[in-house]
Structure 1
Amino acid sequence: MDFAGAYTPDHFMFLLDGFYITLKVAFISIILSFIIGGIVGTLRYAEIPVLSKALAVVVETIRNLPLLLIIFFTYFALPEIGIDLGITLSAIAALTVFESAMLSEVIRSGLKSIEKGQIEAGRSSGLTYVQTLRYIVMPQALRRMVPPIVSQFISLLKDTSLAVVIALPELTHHAQIINGQKSTYIIPIFIMIAFMYFAVNYSLSLLARRLELKSA
């Protein structure tokens, strides 16, 4: 194990460049999946005839597919029908589709966890269905959804490493390039990228706990 040779300033900056791509792809995917997952989860909770069932089929199909397969599809299959997104957008699209399905179920379950008595009380006080959902159901459900939502975000950040299969220049990809220079770099470099992932994910976990305690 050559720690001195592995931990050079050039290697460190190269890994940081890859980590920047990891964080950028994860951040964009998180924002998009939260928006899409929120919409889909709310629509499923509303149990709109036909639409809710159609969304349920789509969500369950995506949730039961390997993320790697979705990444392959967005990068290799979509160009065959004229949709060439490139490496970065393909990774973002695949992660967003997969995570939206996961989050929609989290959000739907969170909304359903609110007692029906509160909904009935809101409706009987003169609020519309949308107002009841906005002012009574959603605020309480969001407090309960914070831990599983953050857990999904942590999973998404780790899942960006799967995009190495389409040569996304993220952290794992850059680590493999450095490891290819010398076999004695492998363990030191893997320790370094493990620390990077841990630092961000552990920070997110602490944030989730703080938000949970604050909203309790």
Structure 2
Amino acid sequence: MDITGALSADHLKFLADGFWLTLYVAFISIVLSFIIGILLGTLRYAKIPVVSKVVAVLVETIRNMPLLLIIFFTFFALPEVGIKLSVTVAAISALTVFESAMLAEIVRGGLNSVDKGQIEAARSSGLTYIQTLRTIVMPQALRRMVPPIVSQFISLLKDTSLCVIVALPELMHNAQIIYAQNVNYIIPVFIVVALMYFIVNYCLSLIARRLESRQA
């Protein structure tokens, strides 16, 4: 095990560059999937004829697919139909599609958790369905959804490592390049990589716990 060689200044910078891209891809995917997930989850909850059923089929189909398959599809299959994406955009697209479906189910569950009596009271007071959803149901549901949503974001950050399969130069990709130079670099590099993931995910876990304790 060569700790000095594995953790040289150049190697640490290379790992940091990969980790920065990991955080960037995760952040963009989180923002996009959050917006799309809320939209899809709300459409499922609203039970709009045809639309809600189509969304339900779409969400359940994606949720039951392996993320790796979706990554392969965006990077290798889409170019076959004329849609060519850079590796970064393909990774963000795949993660966004998968996480949107996961978040849609969390959103639907959160909306369903709101007491129906409040909805009936709001409607009887003269509020429209949209007004009731926006001012009564959604605010309460969002507070309840925050912990599972944060947990899902933690999973998303870890899932970025799967994008190594399409040569996205994220943390695991750069780690592989380093320890491919010397087998004695493997353990030190893996320890640093694990520590990087742990620090960010642990911070997110603390946030989730704090939010859960506030709701208790």
Q: TM-score, normalised by structure 2?
A: 0.98
Show CA shifts across 1:91-141 (max 9, x none): 000000000000000000100011111110111112111111111111111
Paired position in structure 1 for 2:67: 67
1:87 and 2:87 equivalent? yes
For 1:134 and 1:55, the matched residues in 2 are separated by 20
The answer (yes or no) to whether the contact 1:143–1:212 under 8 Å persists in 2 is no
Paired position in structure 2 for 1:8: 8
Tell me the C-alpha RMSD between the 2 structures. Answer: 0.9
CA deviation after TM superposition for structure 1 residue 211, in Å:
2.9
1:199 and 2:199 equivalent? yes
For 1:99 and 1:193, the matched residues in 2 are separated by 23
The answer (yes or no) to whether the contact 2:144–2:215 under 8 Å persists in 1 is no
| Residues 1-216 of structure 1 mapped to structure 2, 5 A cutoff | 1-215=1-215
* SS of residue paired to 1:169: coil
* SS of residue paired to 1:203: helix
For 2:86 and 2:34, the matched residues in 1 are separated by 23
CA deviation after TM superposition for structure 1 residue 215, in Å:
5.0
* SS of residue paired to 1:96: helix
For 1:133 and 1:44, the matched residues in 2 are separated by 13
* SS of residue paired to 2:127: coil
Q: Equivalent pairs: percent with the same residue?
A: 73
CA deviation after TM superposition for structure 1 residue 213, in Å:
3.4
* SS of residue paired to 1:143: helix
Runs ≥4 residues deviating over 6 A: none
Count of matched residue pairs = 216
The answer (yes or no) to whether the contact 2:18–2:173 under 8 Å persists in 1 is yes
Show CA shifts across 1:10-31 (max 9, x none): 1111000000100000000000
For 2:118 and 2:27, the matched residues in 1 are separated by 35
Q: TM-score, normalised by structure 1?
A: 0.98
* SS of residue paired to 1:37: helix
Amino acid at match of 2:210: R
Gapped runs of 5+ residues in structure 1? none
Amino acid at match of 2:73: F
Show CA shifts across 1:173-216 (max 9, x none): 00000000110110110010000001001111111222333455
The answer (yes or no) to whether the contact 1:25–1:160 under 8 Å persists in 2 is yes
CA deviation after TM superposition for structure 1 residue 3, in Å:
1.3
The answer (yes or no) to whether the contact 2:18–2:172 under 8 Å persists in 1 is yes
CA deviation after TM superposition for structure 1 residue 40, in Å:
0.5
